[in-house]
Amino acid sequence: MIPMVNPALRVLPEIILTLFGILVMLADAVMAKASSRKPLGWLAVLGALAALAASLWQNRLPAGDAFYGVVRTDAFSVFFHVLIAGIVLASLLIALDAVSDTTEGLGELFALILFGAVGMMFMTSAVELLLVFIALEISSISTYIMAGFRRKSAKGPESALKYFLLGSFATAFFLYGIALVFGATGTTRIPEIASAIAAGHTPAIIYIGLAMLIVGLGFKVSAAPFHVWTPDVYEGAPSPVVALMSTAPKAAAFAVLLRIVYGAFPLLHDHWTPILWWLAVLSMTIGNLGALRQRNVKRLLAYSSIAHAGYLLVAFAALSADGIAAASFYAVAYAIMNVGIFAVISHAGGYEDRLTLIDDYRGLAWRSPLLGGVMAFFLISLIGIPFTGGFFGKFYVFVAALHSGLIWLAIIGLVNSGIAAWYYLRVATAIYSRPSESSPVHSLPRPSLALLLALVITVSGTLILGIFPGGVLSSARAAAATYTSVSPVPSSSGTSAADTTAQH
Amino acid sequence: MTLRRLVHCALALTVAFAGLAALYLNLGAEFAGLAQLLVYVGAIAILIVFAILLTRGDDTAESVFSPSGLAGAILAAAVFAVLAWAVETSGIVHPAAIPAAPPEPMRSIGLILMHRYILPLEVIALMLTAAMIGAVILALREKRPQPEQIQRSSAQ
């Protein structure tokens, strides 16, 4: 018998973020027109901290459903809640550093970051596809708007428009997928879908529905071949926003993908593992080969994020509890280092992106040893060199792949890591080479308290993951253990029965 | 799609909306049908016509039968064929998907919204808030409002 828990506690981080978002908007409305909006950012930081604390606290709740089986808090949802709250916290600090008092729409920017975070958190805790869809929309709408926040440059609106059009297309796929799955199984609850499939309800439309769900989510995580929007959007969006949208919505979408394939369709794994296998190979290869040709740092990192999505999908295809744990761990490692590198880019380039090309970063370490060193550190982590989070991320992923017999996938992944090292090192050498006389010298603003905090969080996070990965890994294992039905043997009926009893 | 004038396209879309409403009514979903009629035919169609009126979208002179248009048509036909095949071969769908029409459809819709789907309902409010903020920001930031973007964001 599961003890009764107040349902509101199961959505506590979401409630906190919503309240702080509304508070930011109200405060924005009553503040004098000329006054600085930065205090609102600190208010939002406070909200993110409170949500982080609430997410950690949720670990003490017994796992279970709330609101008529629509949301579920378990080790898995808490894991991703903490990750998302952390990313939002760091991104808010980066935004606070990058913006000036005269930046337009700051109150709305901070509020949208918080609202978007609510959507992403719901994505990770929802076990009802309808709520997943709404949460996905909240997260997407906020990011569409934030992508176009720099109205003065032509790239901003272009980026927002591209993101919006392709994003709604992908959302339509996702929604159609839900509709087809509902048609096949008569339910939109993830555990009930699993039991309906176990009971033999597998008409042809369920495969098409599953494929459409994967297409929709593949877009959101920018896996190839659904990646074309990524470089343009990252180039046009303000850097602090990119720090957020290249990590948090992706982590949330990966969580949804994990929930859907392992929670709802574990019995159809014969059909979705090949799809994910190909997505992984394409993402890694296209991402890394695309990055080789880039001269713009943000576009380069966009392609690198496509490649990293590919590494993550390798862990998905591994089809084991280790694979889920590796995917969750990789999501954390990737998020921390990517947010970190965008913290540096956002500070050096500013809200208006003064530095764009790799050549612009030439000699960064000479002008600011701190920034240059930190950026080189994150590049090393992105390559996956030991003592950084990136190393253990890749290590666990490939080990999981090898254990599941996916030798070719692991080999392709390792070759890709080799290719990736080349372009990351190209940026790193540019940072440490002496600035040429002809290159224009941009004055670097002094690092603010907010930036230093963000850097401390991300650098220490990457180091901890690289030296003591045990803590995060055991949480990731606990998260993976919520899917007891991952073994290829059709033993999931036990869990789905437990799921259905848990909701009553 | 084949009409040259934007207004005609909008009117054609309205007819399509009305046709969908008729389909819903035929299936015995009075509430969905009437809502479709009120919201889409009544409001969205008017909004689109207004958006066209305000933006004075110039009519495109290019022919609609371009190679890319043809490729799109073939692709659409292929997708339709696959979907139609899938739905056809699926035969009888899961019985739970075709519940008997309840005696009081409005009442049961209200009950299910206030019980099982209470959380999604609340969360939709947040989504609409975010969408509204976005529409206002995109429209008001520059002094010149852009109805196209308002409509696009609110259509979400």
Report the half-sphere exposure of B59 (CA within 13 A, side-chain side).
13
At residue B20, what are phi and psi to the nearest 5 degrees? Answer: -65, -40
B interface toward A at CB cutoff 8 Å? 82-83, 85-87, 89-91, 93-97, 115-120, 123-124, 126-127, 129-131, 133-134, 137-138, 141-142, 152-153, 156
Residues of B in contact with A137 (CB under 8 A): 127, 156
Task: Find the CB nearest B129 among A71, A115, A128.
Answer: A115
Task: Find the CB nearest B130 among A115, A130, A184.
Answer: A115
* Helices A12-30 & A75-98 angle (0-180, nearest 10): 20
How many separate domains does chain A show? Answer: 1
Q: Is residue A397 part of a domain?
A: yes
- Angle at the Cα of A86 (from A349 to A484), degrees rounded to 5? 130
Q: Which of A326, A372, A446, A205 is nearest to B89 (CA)?
A: A205
C-alpha–C-alpha distance, residues A231 and B81, integer Å: 34
- Are A366 and A434 a contacting pair, CB within 8 Å? yes
C-alpha–C-alpha distance, residues A229 and A245, integer Å: 13
Interface probe for B, chosen from A108, A145, A206, A500 (most Cβ of B below 10 Å), is A145
Q: How many contacts does A have with B, using Cβ atoms within 8 A? A: 114
Q: Is residue A1 part of a domain?
A: no
Low-confidence ranges of chain A (pLDDT < 50): 1, 486-504
C-alpha–C-alpha distance, residues B70 and B76, integer Å: 10
Classify A497 as helix, strand or coil: helix
Q: Is residue A428 part of a domain?
A: yes
C-alpha–C-alpha distance, residues A485 and A498, integer Å: 12
Peptide bond preceding B67: is omega within 30 degrees of 0, i.e. cis? no
State the Cα torsion A365-A366-A370-A373 to the nearest 10°: 30
Q: Which of B87, B27, B78 is nearest to A183 (CA)?
A: B87
Burial letters A444-457, b for 16+ CB under 10 A, else e:
beebeebbebbbeb
Task: Find the CB nearest A187 among B83, B96, B117.
Answer: B96
Q: Is residue A319 part of a domain?
A: yes
Specify the residue for token string 């690198």: A304
C-alpha–C-alpha distance, residues A391 and A472, integer Å: 14
Q: Is residue A252 part of a domain?
A: yes
- A68 and B118 within 8 Å at the Cβ level: the answer is yes
Helices (H), A73-128: 75-98, 106-125
Q: Is residue A231 part of a domain?
A: yes
Q: Is residue A236 part of a domain?
A: yes
Specify the residue for token string 């809502």: B35
**Interface residue A207 vs chain B (CB under 8 A):** yes
Integer CA distances (angstroms), A270 to A16, A87, A192, A218, in order = 41, 34, 20, 19
Chain length of chain B: 156
Closest chain B residue to A169 measured between Cα atoms?
B156
Low-confidence ranges of chain B (pLDDT < 70): 1-4, 56-65, 91-103, 141-156
Chain A nearest-CA distance from B142, in A, is 8
State the Cα torsion A76-A48-A160-A123 to the nearest 10°: 20
Burial letters A272-292, b for 16+ CB under 10 A, else e:
bbebbbebbbbbbbbbbebbe
Closest chain A residue to B79 measured between Cα atoms?
A208
Q: What is the pTM of this model?
A: 0.87
The string of pLDDT tens digits covering residues A249-277 is: 999 999 999 999 988 888 888 888 889 99
ipTM: 0.80
**Interface residue A425 vs chain B (CB under 8 A):** no
Q: Is residue A2 part of a domain?
A: no
Chain B nearest-CA distance from A115, in A, is 7
- In the chain, the amino acid numbered B25 is L
At residue A31, what are phi and psi to the nearest 5 degrees? Answer: -70, 150
Token pair belonging to A287: 């991402």
Q: What does the pLDDT read at residue B148?
A: 47
Q: Distance from first CA to last CA of chain A, Å, rounded?
A: 11
Chain length of chain A: 504
Residues of B in contact with A116 (CB under 8 A): 130
- A112 and B133 within 8 Å at the Cβ level: the answer is yes
Residues of B in contact with A160 (CB under 8 A): 138
- Angle at the Cα of A216 (from A120 to A194), degrees rounded to 5? 80
Specify the residue for token string 């994990």: A258
Q: What does the pLDDT read at residue A17?
A: 95
At residue A73, what are phi and psi to the nearest 5 degrees? Answer: -105, 125
Classify A128 as helix, strand or coil: strand
**Interface residue A134 vs chain B (CB under 8 A):** yes
At residue A66, what are phi and psi to the nearest 5 degrees? Answer: -145, 165
Residues of B in contact with A122 (CB under 8 A): 123
Q: What does the pLDDT read at residue B144?
A: 43
Residues of B in contact with A196 (CB under 8 A): 94
**Interface residue A471 vs chain B (CB under 8 A):** no
CB count within 10 Å of CB A202 equals 18
Q: Distance from first CA to last CA of chain B, Å, rounded?
A: 22
**Interface residue A125 vs chain B (CB under 8 A):** no
Closest chain B residue to A122 measured between Cα atoms?
B123
Residue range of the domain that includes A49: 7-503
C-alpha–C-alpha distance, residues A89 and A79, integer Å: 16
As a three-state string, the secondary structure of A64-87 is EEECCCCEEECHHHHHHHHHHHHH
CB count within 10 Å of CB B63 equals 9
**Count helices and strands in chain B by DSSP H and E runs:** 7, 0
- A115 and B95 within 8 Å at the Cβ level: the answer is no
The string of pLDDT tens digits covering residues B6-15 is: 778 888 888 8
